[in-house]
């Protein structure tokens, strides 16, 4: 048992790795929630416990799981102890952990979570949905983050909150990036500021909507559906739609970084806006856009992001282009070749990559990551997405 504290409620609850699960006698989808991958973000854990207590087995089909993330960090109410568990899910790291005898705290947590994940996928029915619940150190309206596969976009569009694409291009090793590589629908949900009561309420609302949208809840009238929908919608009216990350201010280990007070996610900023002080130097925004996830806590290396809205025209265009797999043509260009066709990984000579706009690759579903001085490695979400698993679902 782990004792988890929430400041807004000033209460402690006891949880295990599996916070709760409900399995219906009627076959149906499998919906998996994670809370507290970051140990200081306890509102997801509280919300999951509350919702699972009140959902009746007779009102659902399929299976629901609620899972605790970093148990040791949750007990200590810290983001992490040795390493950030949500930057740890890379292929290399997982392979390395499997060969180790002595594990640090987060390596052990990862290993346990991986076992739970494998057993859920093995013993339950598709379609699978994975949702990771978080909060932020700054004030924010609730929002979704996702890896840019069309199945993720389509499922996410049902929720009345802004959707931010492309975070995986900046953050290595997020749990959801790993699950995305497996091809399943997976969304991150940030409900509000860490210790705000509203963060718990928003998590509760989002969990219920996810139960309804995935088809796990048989009849929407058995839950307070429209009230939960309205609750999230009212907070998000100013920023609905799709956003793309265009910039991240990365903090180095020896830096003395301080965000200036008063910024909240989705707040519009202009080029030149003073945002932070780092090593006594003033940091200004290099772009017009909106500020996103400014860092107001000690732990963490992502100072702030800048996001921009994506025009609906480009969203449609990318849907069409991905549908015809136009990326097969890309490898005909000089300097572009498959690094791994099955996993949808392209390799682009950096000299050539300069001639393609980044957004061109984004439209085709590729997200970039530099591997060395000469080549850019681009992964395509569509080629690994298990799209057929979801084709008969109502939302598709």
Give the residues lining the site for Zn ion (CB under 5 A).
38, 41, 134
For 358-364, the CB contacts below 8 A with 24+ separation are 359/314, 362/148, 362/165, 362/166, 362/244, 362/318, 363/314, 363/317, 363/318, 363/321, 364/318, 364/321, 364/322, 364/326, 364/327, 364/330
Q: Which is nearer to Zn ion, 134 or 383 (CB)?
A: 134
Q: Which is nearer to Zn ion, 72 or 315 (CB)?
A: 72
Q: Which is nearer to Zn ion, 134 or 367 (CB)?
A: 134
Residue written as token pair 């997976």: 186
Q: What's the min distance (Å) between Cβ of 341 and Zn ion?
A: 34
Q: Which is nearer to Zn ion, 38 or 362 (CB)?
A: 38
Q: What's the min distance (Å) between Cβ of 132 and Zn ion?
A: 8
Q: Which is nearer to Zn ion, 41 or 107 (CB)?
A: 41
Q: What's the min distance (Å) between Cβ of 98 and Zn ion?
A: 25
Q: What's the min distance (Å) between Cβ of 42 and Zn ion?
A: 11
Q: Which is nearer to Zn ion, 176 or 336 (CB)?
A: 176
Q: What's the min distance (Å) between Cβ of 154 and Zn ion?
A: 25
Q: What's the min distance (Å) between Cβ of 396 and Zn ion?
A: 29
Q: What's the min distance (Å) between Cβ of 361 and Zn ion?
A: 27
Q: Which is nearer to Zn ion, 41 or 382 (CB)?
A: 41
Query: Alpha carbon of 108 to those of 16, 111, 177, 307, 371: distances in Å?
Result: 15, 5, 19, 34, 28
Q: Which is nearer to Zn ion, 211 or 293 (CB)?
A: 293
Q: What's the min distance (Å) between Cβ of 38 and Zn ion?
A: 4
Phi, psi of 290 (to 5 degrees): -125, 140
Q: Which is nearer to Zn ion, 120 or 175 (CB)?
A: 175
Q: What's the min distance (Å) between Cβ of 333 and Zn ion?
A: 39
Q: Which is nearer to Zn ion, 134 or 201 (CB)?
A: 134
Q: What's the min distance (Å) between Cβ of 135 and Zn ion?
A: 7
């Amino acid at each position: 048992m782990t004792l988890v504290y929430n400041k807004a409620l000033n209460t402690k609850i006891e949880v295990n790795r599996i916070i709760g699960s409900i399995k219906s006698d009627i076959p149906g989808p499998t919906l998996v929630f994670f809370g507290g991958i970051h140990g200081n973000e306890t509102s997801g854990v509280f919300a999951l416990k509350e919702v699972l207590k009140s959902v009746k087995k007779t009102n659902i089909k399929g299976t629901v799981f609620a899972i605790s993330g970093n148990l040791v960090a949750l007990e200590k109410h810290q983001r992490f102890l040795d390493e950030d568990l949500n930057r740890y899910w890379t292929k290399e790291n997982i392979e390395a952990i499997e060969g180790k005898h002595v594990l640090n705290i987060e390596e052990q947590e990862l290993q346990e979570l991986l076992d739970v994940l494998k057993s859920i996928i093995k013993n339950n029915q598709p379609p699978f949905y994975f949702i990771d619940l978080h909060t932020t150190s700054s004030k924010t309206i609730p929002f979704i983050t996702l890896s840019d596969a069309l199945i993720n976009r389509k499922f996410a569009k049902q929720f009345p909150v802004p959707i931010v694409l492309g975070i995986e291009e900046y953050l290595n090793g997020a749990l959801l990036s790993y699950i995305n590589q497996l091809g399943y629908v997976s969304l991150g949900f940030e409900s509000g500021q860490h210790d705000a009561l509203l963060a718990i309420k928003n998590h509760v609302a989002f969990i219920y909507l996810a139960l309804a949208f995935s088809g796990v809840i048989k009849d929407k009238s058995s839950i307070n559906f429209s009230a939960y929908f309205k609750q999230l919608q009212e907070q998000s009216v100013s920023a609905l739609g799709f956003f793309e990350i265009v910039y991240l201010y990365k903090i180095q280990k020896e830096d003395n970084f301080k965000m200036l007070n008063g910024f909240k996610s989705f707040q519009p900023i202009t080029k030149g806006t003073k945002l932070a002080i780092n090593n006594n130097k003033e940091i200004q925004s290099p772009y017009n856009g909106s500020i996103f996830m400014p860092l107001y806590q000690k732990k963490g290396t992502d100072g702030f992001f800048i996001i921009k809205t994506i025009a609906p025209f480009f969203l449609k265009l990318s849907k069409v282009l991905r549908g015809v797999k136009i990326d097969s043509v890309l490898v005909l260009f000089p300097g572009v070749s498959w690094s791994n066709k099955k996993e949808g990984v392209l390799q682009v000579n950096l000299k050539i990559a300069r001639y393609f706009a980044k957004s061109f690759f984004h439209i085709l579903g590729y997200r970039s990551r530099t591997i060395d001085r000469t080549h850019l490695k681009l992964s395509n979400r569509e080629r690994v997405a298990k799209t057929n698993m979801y084709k008969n679902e109502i939302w598709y």
